[in-house]
Structure formats: C-alpha cells, structure tokens
Structure 1
Amino acid sequence: MICLPPSGVNVDLFPWLCWCIWLARNSLTFEKLDLCPEDIICKTLRPAREWQDSQPPKVAQAPNQRRQTSASDQDTVICYTDAAWKPLTGDAGFGWIFQDSTGQTIGQGSSTEPHVASALMAEAIAIREALLHARTLHYSKICIRSDNQVLTKALNSKQHPVEIYGLTLDIETLSSLFSSMQCSFISRSLNISADKLVKSALCNFNSALP
C-alpha cells in the first residue's frame, strides 16, 4: 500500500495502518473512544512519515566500491536458504546449504528458534544465520538464493520493511564483510533440499519440547 501525493509518504503503509486500527480498537474497548476512519488514517500517516524521515539517505555507490559477482564465478559459494514457521506456536526452523560452482554441496547448517513473529521474519533470520556461518568458514564471495520474493526484493532494493527492519540491517552489515555478495530469487522447486533440511530441524525441535 503506497500512499500517493500530496501526503509525502512513499513507504508501505499497511503495517502502520494495522497498528493504528489496533490502537483504535483498544481506545473503543477500554476508553469508549470511537475514532472515525479519517482520524485513523491521519494517525497512520504521522508515524509512517516520521519513520520515513528518520531513514538515512541513500548514497549511490561507485561501481568499484561494491562489485556484484556473478554466481558463475568459480570461487563464488552458492547458498540456498529456507525457513519453516508455525503460526500457532511461533516456532521456526532455518536452513542453509552451501554449494560450489559445480553444484557440489560443501557445507550446510540448520537451527531453530521460538517466538518468531512471521514467515517473512523466519526467512530473514535464515539468511542472517547463513551469512554468519559463511563468515566462520571464511567464504569471501557468496550468492544467496531464496524462494521468498518479498525478502529478496527488499534486500536488493535496500527498502527495509518495518516488520524485519532490524534483520535486514543485520544482513546488510554482514554483506559488507564479504568481498562480493548477491541475493537472488528462485522458485520453490529449485529449493527442495533446503526445504527438507528446514522441516527436519523444526520437527526435531518440536519433538524435543516437553
């Protein structure tokens, strides 16, 4: 939901609108204060504009400052990431598989975490964990492949969704530690191995719970 001029807000308003509707619901329930739709919209625009204005300005990088490597480079590690999330419990599993330029698996990892707020957040955590693992293995060039198009688009455009703002900043910081880093979207049919790894990790996590 992009707000058109003259509001001056060009960020996604949906999270802010949901938040303000929730606040309006609380006001009606606990304070008997009934806000009209126009007031709710106005209350939505203000924090969204403040958040937009607080973002650092975008600085165009010179071509030689940050070289985006091709995944076909022989020394580039391909990393397939995936996540599984249970909305009823908030439990999430994360997985990543490293492959060399020939398609040979050279490493993999998985982890789990409770109290994850959404599927998008789980996918972002998976990429962050994969990058952390890649650093411990001293990889210098990496190409992340994810089947979450919303996330890959956000990372490539550096438009940080409010829902995962902190995580995307973490990923951006970690990316700067590699000599080159690329993130691309793939279909789920090409991410089957990572999907199986994630579901196995989440299944084992749930089995270990009392």
Structure 2
Amino acid sequence: MDCDTGCARCGASEETINHTLFQCHPARQIWALSQIPTALGNFPTESIFANLDHLFWRIPSDYDSSAFPWIIWYIWKAMNEKIFENIDKNLLEVLRLAEKEAQLWQAAQLELQEENHGSVVSTTRSRVREVSLDSNYSGYRCFVDGSWKGSDKFSGTGWFCTSSNGEPPTMGAANLRRSLSSLHTEVEALLWAMKCMIGADNQEVAFYTDCSDLVKMVSSPTEWPAFSVYLEEFHNDKEEFSSFSLSLISRSANVKADNLARKVRTEPSHITYVNNIPQEWLF
C-alpha cells in the first residue's frame, strides 16, 4: 500500500514530526507569535534535536519559555483537527490556549503545594526545631539560602561553606530564571550547594537553612508531590556524601548565605560565582 508522506497543510514533500511541530507554515507562525525567540538558522531548524535543545537550554532568561511544552502539544492538536476534521484553527487562538493551559498547570502546582503543606501542619502540628551551632565540629558546614521576588526576572541562590580544618571559607552565588515560588528557590539553592560540595570532594557536610519547609520536605518527601523531581535529584546527590545532614537555624545565623542570595538576585544579567575570595559587590 502506498502512503502519502506529504504534508496536507503546506504541501511539503515529507511530513516528519519535526516538520509538523517546527517547520510547517502554521507552526512557524505560532512560534513567531510566541515569547520564544526565533532566529534564522538557529530556531526553528531542520533538526528536531537542535530545536529541542534550543527550547530546553538556549533561551535567554529574559524570555518566559515555560509554556513551550503546551505550545508543542497544541500545534500537534491543531494539525490533527485540520487533517481529520478539516478545521482550520486561528493560530493566535492556538497560542493563547497553550499559554493559558501552562498558567493553569503552574497555578495548580502551587495550590497542591499549599494544600499538602496545610494538611501536614494540621495533622502533625509539628515544628522543626532550630539547632544551635557548636564551635567544635568535623568536616564542613555549608549554609544555604534562596531569595525570590515575584517582580524580579531572577531568583537568587547562595551558600557559604566553612571547614573544621581551618581552610578559608568558600562561597557561591548564582541567579537563575525566576522559580515558581520562594520554596522552589530554596530547594534549588540546596541542590546547587550539594553539587558544589560534591565537585569539591567535600564528603562530610552538614547543611544549614533558615527555611523550615525545606527541612520538612527532605524529611517527608512523599508529602510534597509537587517537588518530586527536585526530591529525586536530592536523593541521588545525597548518596555522594559519607556524612550528610540538613538542619534548621535562625535567620540571624544564616546572614552570609542570605546576603549572597539577595545580592545576586538583583543583578541584571546571569552570574555564577564560586570562590574563596569574597567580592565586595556580593556583600
């Protein structure tokens, strides 16, 4: 049986998945109307791998690219409606629907987070106790913090690490595309600090945070399903340490990490800083 492999929408000789999602004329117009930056020769291209790489990793943080999975899905749905029902969808309407669905999904994750948090609080009535910092310790201490503001384009993450053997303290500060919430940023700060400690081969590390929800989350991961991807990454990284702990401390005891996170959040461009030499602009 002969099959027609051509595109019924634009007449191209071969209708591949990449053609449908990125190169067919209606798809190109939808991407051009979206907030995703397009550039001749860079996106969209004839390679589906290059196109997906662009969407996942190459979009500047100035642009809101969070809706792209829904844009892909609704381009595919519009193609099916044209082929099987002969319905021509308004391209701007397709884009707006995709963006709306993305916003609803993100809002649902926050609601789920709040519901689960409320359930935990109401059933257990437990509080995470702050620990006091003993001057005598072994290995390393790593203080972590995140900084988030809904009106800023970046979230800020910071950590400050001291050593029991008298080495100069090391520190890190990085800004990321703004997360969904302040708690998301706290998790991202911890994960980045853990990776930095692993990279430095610091295997005996006590981490400290002033975010009680973060401590609850890693203690009872099943009660925080909205953060399951983060928690899976946390579990995998935790296995790299010979000794690991995460404890709650007061904000006054976490000033250095807090300053790093707050300062880097307000920087106008992407910054990742890791060093044992303090920089004036960070404090």
Q: Is the 8 A contact 1:82 1:147 kept in 2?
A: yes
Confirm whether residue 208 of structure 1 aligns to residue 254 of structure 2. no
Q: Partner of 1:80 in structure 2?
A: 143
Residues 1:119 and 2:182 are matched in the alignment: yes
Compute the displacement of 1:105 (Å): 4.9
Gaps of 5+ in 2: 1-114, 116-133, 271-283
- Which residue does the alignment assign to 1:171? 234
- Structure 1 pair 75–130 and aligned structure 2 pair: CA distance change class (3 A): same
Shift of residue 203, structure 1, vs aligned partner: 1.8
Task: Count matched residues.
Answer: 140
What residue number does 1:187 align with?
Answer: 250
Change in 2 beyond 3 A, CA 1:90/1:120: farther
Within a 5 Å distance, the mapping from 1:1-210 to structure 2 comes to 74-89=137-152, 91-101=154-164, 105-159=168-222, 161-204=224-267, 207-208=268-269
Task: Give runs of ≥4 in structure 1 deviating > 6 Å.
Answer: none
Determine the C-alpha separation between the residues in 1 that align with 2:249 and 2:193.
17
Once the two structures are TM-superposed, the CA of residue 199 in structure 1 deviates from its matched residue by 1.2
CA deviation after TM superposition for structure 1 residue 148, in Å: 0.5
Partner Cα distance (1:121, 1:103) in 2: 33
Task: Tell me: CA distance 1:125–1:160, structure 2 relative to 1, closer, same or farther (3 Å).
Answer: farther
User: 2: CA distance between counterparts of 1:141 and 1:73?
Assistant: 14
AA of the residue aligned to 1:128: L
Q: Note closer, same or farther for the CA distance 1:144–1:159 as it changes in structure 2 (3 Å cut).
A: farther
Task: Summarize deviations over 1:39-88 as a string: whole Å, max 9, x none.
Answer: xxxxxxxxx9xxxxxxxxxxxxxxxxxxxxxx877542100000101113
Structure 1 residue 138, shift from structure 2 partner: 0.5
Contact 2:155 2:265 in 1 (8 A): yes
Task: State the SS of the aligned residue for 1:138.
Answer: coil
- Cα distance in 2, alignment partners of residues 84 and 176 from structure 1: 27
Letter in 1 for 2:147: A
Partners of 2:221 and 2:228 within 8 A in 1: no
Counterpart code for 2:226: E
Match of 1:3 in 2: none
Within 1, Cα distance between the matches of 2:148 and 2:221?
Answer: 24
CA distance in 2, matches of 1:161, 1:90: 26
Q: Distance in 2 between matches of 1:89 and 1:76?
A: 36
Work out whether residues 157 and 261 of structure 2, in 8 Å CA contact, stay in contact via their aligned partners in 1: yes
Checking the alignment, whether the CA contact within 8 Å between 1:97 and 1:105 is kept in structure 2 is: no
**What residue identity is the alignment partner of 1:208?**
S
Letter in 1 for 2:240: L
Residue segments in structure 1 that go unaligned for 5+ positions in a row: 1-47, 49-70
Cα–Cα, structure 1 residues 103 and 161, in superposed 2: closer, same or farther, change >3 Å? Answer: farther
Between 1 and 2, higher relative CO (CA 8 Å, sep ≥ 6) is seen in: 1
